Structure 1
């Protein structure tokens, strides 16, 4: 194992390995995680070289499966059907990791009370290239060094005091890349409507958003200050900003977007608890 994951040891079981869990796993493998340390339980996940793959928890258990680290990566709605078979596996030496939207630490503790620690992680898809954001909150006797070693290769790590704001963080950073992709797509579509070719418009939009984000991150300045540096009174940029800023419509739109995503996370939590 490389120094990148040098403080992470033990065996890991991934219960569900869809887009997000798969992106995390691929990044960990690229950072030096030994495939022999990992097993996947997911009948639909693509096979990965060197990693044991099982269609069900029963199959994994029959193969004498053991793991000190278990990560829940399936759909939140599946928690109820998975918990009964998984709870006997999650014992006093097990760290339970969860990326399930809407499923709180309290929910995890109720389902898996014997776990050494419950760790709720909210990553996003940019983890695939090590540029993601992972918010994390935990309960129990957490091996902080190992959790940090596991999450740092994914990108920025933000430790939360508790998970009370995690539904909003789920919407804000977890769903956020999809919202940014849609904004870029819409920006490119507008350029195409006004006369650019589809290919040129998408390339220009992607580079513009990427460059602006990189400048914002490196400059240490506020977005509004940088916007003011681009705009001049009576100029083309200011004309466009006047449309964006009219009536606070852009902030209102983004607030509604985040509210809808946050509220859906809460609905998923109710379903996972059996309340919905």
Structure 2
């Protein structure tokens, strides 16, 4: 990765810490990274020290960031922004991964600036996430490329045409890992009800979903083709899918679930 910096990472919790580790592994110079966090974990401090990065509890007043990466929880974002306004200069791009916090909200605290609003998901912690991102009109092509490089260390980045699409991205991929984890729980419970020991049913369900996900990741075929490959006419898979794909099956449930998640994301943004 080409040299970037100074990069200021505000917040080094699960998501911020995962991004920091990914940046350093991808070749970002540790000396170009400043982590601002009042109480980073011992693991994060070890990462910072080994990489030659810097840790601060607050930025100096005369400091200007090249990239200001906001990875704090949405409920403390407002408190975190005020002390950062002086760090935003004419060449700064601000990147926020906080759900529900709009670009206009950030502008109200940091002033007019190049800003990117991004929605990663938790598989970013193992380098297998996906991120939806929207850039305002002040973001230059060079800044966008720099932000893309930083976000893509944890997985693919999909650039959005409108900020309003972020709420749908939140509903689909941002919250999506929880749906998959719940699928594992449901499969395991169904297996238990068929007579399998609960721990065995959970292991089978967990490995099945993890393996299917990896096959989907590695295969050139799409999800529909892979499903069809498993489904023999008149077989056991077809019998199960006749229930899951019925008018009262999974699709209408997911329609309702994602609509509820998007509505909540919209409420949090207002």
TM-score (norm 2): 0.85
SS in 2 for 1:87: helix
Which residue of the partner structure matches residue 136 of structure 1?
133
C-alpha distance in 2 between matches for 1:199 and 1:54: 45
CA offsets per residue over residues 214-272 of structure 1, 9 Å max, x none? 334444444344333323343222221122223233112212221222222222222xx
Work out which of the residue numbers 97, 102, 125 in structure 2 matches 1:99: 97
Which residue of the partner structure matches residue 228 of structure 2?
228
Which residue of the partner structure matches residue 244 of structure 1?
244
**TM-superposed deviation, 1:25:** 1.5
**TM-superposed deviation, 1:133:** 0.6
Which residue of the partner structure matches residue 40 of structure 2?
45
C-alpha distance in 1 between matches for 2:24 and 2:189: 37
TM-score (norm 1): 0.83
C-alpha distance in 2 between matches for 1:92 and 1:249: 52
Which residue of the partner structure matches residue 24 of structure 1?
19
Verify the 8 A CA contact 2:5 2:33 in the aligned structure 1.
no
Which residue of the partner structure matches residue 264 of structure 1?
264
Does residue 119 in structure 1 map to residue 116 in structure 2? yes
**TM-superposed deviation, 1:83:** 2.5
Pairs aligned (count): 260
C-alpha distance in 2 between matches for 1:160 and 1:12: 23
Which residue of the partner structure matches residue 154 of structure 1?
154
SS in 2 for 1:61: coil
Structure 2, unaligned runs of 5 or more: none
- Between stretches 253-262 and 41-50, larger displacement belongs to 41-50
Distance 1:193 1:26, change over 3 A: farther
Does residue 172 in structure 1 map to residue 169 in structure 2? no
Which residue of the partner structure matches residue 202 of structure 2?
202
SS in 2 for 1:120: strand
**TM-superposed deviation, 1:186:** 2.2
Verify the 8 A CA contact 2:120 2:131 in the aligned structure 1.
yes
**TM-superposed deviation, 1:70:** 1.0
Which residue of the partner structure matches residue 61 of structure 1?
60
SS in 1 for 2:212: helix
- Between stretches 221-230 and 121-130, larger displacement belongs to 221-230
CA offsets per residue over residues 81-101 of structure 1, 9 Å max, x none? 222221122121211010011
**TM-superposed deviation, 1:52:** 3.1
Verify the 8 A CA contact 1:76 1:269 in the aligned structure 2.
no
Does residue 15 in structure 1 map to residue 10 in structure 2? yes
Root-mean-square deviation (CA, aligned residues, Å) is 2.3
Distance 1:215 1:161, change over 3 A: same
Structure 1, unaligned runs of 5 or more: 271-276
C-alpha distance in 2 between matches for 1:166 and 1:192: 38
C-alpha distance in 2 between matches for 1:248 and 1:26: 43
- Between stretches 170-179 and 202-211, larger displacement belongs to 202-211
Which residue of the partner structure matches residue 274 of structure 1?
none
Which residue of the partner structure matches residue 213 of structure 2?
213
Distance 1:219 1:39, change over 3 A: closer
Q: Work out which structure has the larger RCO, using CA pairs closer than 8 Å and 6 or more positions apart in sequence.
A: 1
